[in-house]
Structure 1
Amino acid sequence: MILATKRAVGSDYAYQPYYREKFEQQKQTKVRIKKRPSPLLVVVLGISLIGIMFFTGLSYTYLKARIAHLNWQISQGKKDIAAMQVQNEKLKLEIARLKSLDRIEKVATTQMGMIKNPGVEYLAIKATTTNTSVPASQTVREMPAQNPANTSQDGIITAITKVISEKAGIGKG
């Protein structure tokens, strides 16, 4: 703190505080001298800065190239997936074609020599004569000999052969 000095008119009294002397001494001693950095330090710092900038640019370029390569691999993978999906659809169509019943029937008849089943037809025939029943206790050997002309079995056989010949077209001239 600086105290104001009192000066009286006509007095020799002038108070010089202790602080003022110390402040003047500090002014004189606080002269700063600017030092220049050594040239070696400037060169080392410059080379370091240039090296850091170079490696930063190099790493940035590497990252961009790596990203471009990965994007290319992704696009190739997508193309491969699309091609495999098309191939999968073609294979599904081929499986469906090979499972076709018409194709299986054609292969069976042409290559394997199989014949198509003509189908089973059931015929309803009325018996014209009465059926003589044989007791269940008699075996086939014990059955009495019957006159073939009078049995209902002959009528049934005749009717069956007649229907079969009509269906097969044998009776047509």
Structure 2
Amino acid sequence: MIIAEKKNYSYQHDYQPKIKVKKGRKIKVRLLLSVFVVFVLGLSVLFRYVYIVESKYQLENMKRELSRIDKENQLLKVKLAELKSLDRIEKIAKSKLGMIEPGVNNFVFIRVPEYSVTSEQGRNTGDIDKGLNKPEDKSNSSGILSALIKIKTLFD
């Protein structure tokens, strides 16, 4: 008997199953969508940092402007103090306005009523103590007013 040679047949095929088009499309769409989402998130973070940097620049500009205004304010306060100086006012009064310092004969005395306007107002409002609104007796009056009246009588 003749024995036939056994041949080894290989049943391996070069056949590869086709990847379904729908699955491949879904994967591509998901990949594109995730890339788009990452891109949008990256842009939002970038714009946020741009906004922060711009705000810092504005803050620095405002600080510089505030510093400048403070310096200007200090200069204006110094200038105001110079303009309010009594020596300067006296100098202008004497040179430009022709004013002179009063002498002994340049005082003018006026008569003051025996009671003040405030006591007259108190009389109209009906104070409880009517004695407060009465004019004082000349013999009991003291103070600057009486001294001025006495000095005026000396010059009359």
Taking structure 2 as the reference length, the TM-score comes to 0.51
Secondary structure in 2 aligned to 1:38? helix
Matched, 1:113 2:98: yes
Find the counterpart in structure 1 of residue 49 from structure 2.
64
Post-superposition Cα deviations, 1:118-144, rounded to whole Å, max 9, x if no partner, equal 568xxxxxxxxxxxxxxxxxxxxxxxx
Q: CA deviation at 1:86?
A: 0.4
Alignment-mate amino acid for residue 52 of structure 1: V
Aligned: 1:102 with 2:87: yes
% same residue: 29
The equivalent of 1:136 in structure 2 is: none
Show the counterpart of 2:32. 47
AA paired with 1:48?
Answer: L
Residue identity in the other structure for 1:64: Y
Q: Indicate the SS of the match to 1:112.
A: coil
Cα distance 1:93–1:119, how it changes in 2: closer, same or farther (>3 A)? farther
More helix by share: 2
Report the structure number with the largest CA radius of gyration.
1
1:73-128: CA deviation from partner (whole Å, max 9, x where unpaired): 110111111111101111110111011010001111111121233568xxxxxxxx
Letter aligned with residue 114 of structure 1:
M
Say what the alpha-carbon RMSD is for the aligned residues: 1.9
Count of equivalent residues = 86
Q: Which residue in the other structure is 1:23 paired with?
A: none
Asked if 1:81 is matched to 2:66, the reply is yes
Gaps spanning 5+ residues in structure 2: where?
Answer: 1-18, 106-156
Letter aligned with residue 25 of structure 2: L
> CA deviation digits over 1:124-166, x for unaligned, max 9?
xxxxxxxxxxxxxxxxxxxxxxxxxxxxxxxxxxxxxxxxxxx
1:93 aligns with 2:78: yes
Classify the secondary structure of the residue corresponding to 2:51.
helix
Q: Secondary structure at the match of 1:113?
A: coil
| TM-score using structure 1 length | 0.46
Consecutive unaligned residues in structure 1, runs of 5 or more: 1-34, 121-173
